[in-house]
Amino acid sequence: MAARRALHFVFKVGNRFQTAHFFRDVLGMKVLRHEEFEEGCKAACNGPYDGKWSKTMVGFGPEDDHFVAELTYNYGIGDYKLGNDFMGITLASTQAVSNARKLEWPLREVAEGVFETEAPGGYKFYLQDRNLPQSDPVVKVTLAVSDLQKSLNYWSNLLGMKIYEQDEEKQTALLGYADNQCKLELHGIKGAVDHAAAFGRIAFSCPQKELPHLEDLMKREKQTILTPLVSLDTPGKATVQVVILADPDGHEICFVGDEAFRELSKMDPKGSKLLDDAMAADKSDEWFATRNKPKASG
């Protein structure tokens, strides 16, 4: 499974200005590309919404060798109810810790040299006050699971991830497709996993020819397929094939054909300007304010 790669995590965001400030100025990520869409995605990339939306990819470098964030903004929706499903992203960056202090972004030390902070919308990030020898500071994504052994069977035996660490006492396991990639940490919790409305999606790539086999495997194993193999178009860019799955707790997982995705995910030097222009042109906050109405909740 070495040809598989961890790509990104999808966040639904209600305030693009605050979110862009956090990812760009606090974490120190770059805008890799920005795209606007007039109608909802047929693989529900923007959630269960049909209207106008945008996608902004941000990261410390290109998605070929960095794990990045996909910021999904649905016009007219101001916030999303958080569940207990997403437990945080951990990154190692002395610069991010320094930026947060300088900008007076709230930090709470939860272990020696490890600081908990929140992105707008309440998404947790853990900043380690150190730098990694590799180029990508993103260490791991932590998701809650209700039955660790059942989840390990799914992610390791069915999706082919290597188990790097497992701690029965803490009910955690660390998995990944390669040593130098962002890892997935599963954290067992008591009770059910609640995705609420803010639920995200984690994405991986694999050789395109593997996608039908992956879909067939999930059918044979009677696992959930949210979106059967489909082609997604981005205007003026590569068309990619994806299969969207759900693990035993309902975490959404996107597998995308690697070859076309490498073409699609190339950095756009105009990405930051496109985002700024889109935010400047978005008058929805003013529209709601003049009518004394709150934006909808997701």
pLDDT in tens, 14-60: 999 999 999 999 999 999 999 999 888 877 888 888 889 999 999 99
Confidence of residue 232 (pLDDT cuts 50, 70, 90): confident
30 vs 286, more confident:
30
276 vs 47, more confident:
276
Q: What confidence score (pLDDT) does residue 135 get?
A: 84
Q: Taking residues 151-171, report their average pLDDT.
A: 97
Q: What confidence score (pLDDT) does residue 2 get?
A: 57
Strand order in the sheet with 224-232: 30-37, 53-59, 68-74, 5-13, 201-206, 252-257, 240-246, 224-232
pLDDT exceeding 70 applies to what percent of the chain?
99
Q: What confidence score (pLDDT) does residue 283 get?
A: 83
Whole-number average pLDDT of the chain: 94
pLDDT exceeding 90 applies to what percent of the chain?
82
Confidence of residue 154 (pLDDT cuts 50, 70, 90): very high
> Residues 51-107: pLDDT tens digits?
899 999 999 999 999 999 999 999 989 999 999 999 999 999 999 999 999 999 999
Q: What confidence score (pLDDT) does residue 233 get?
A: 79
Q: Is the pLDDT of residue 1 over 60?
A: no
Q: What confidence score (pLDDT) does residue 234 get?
A: 75
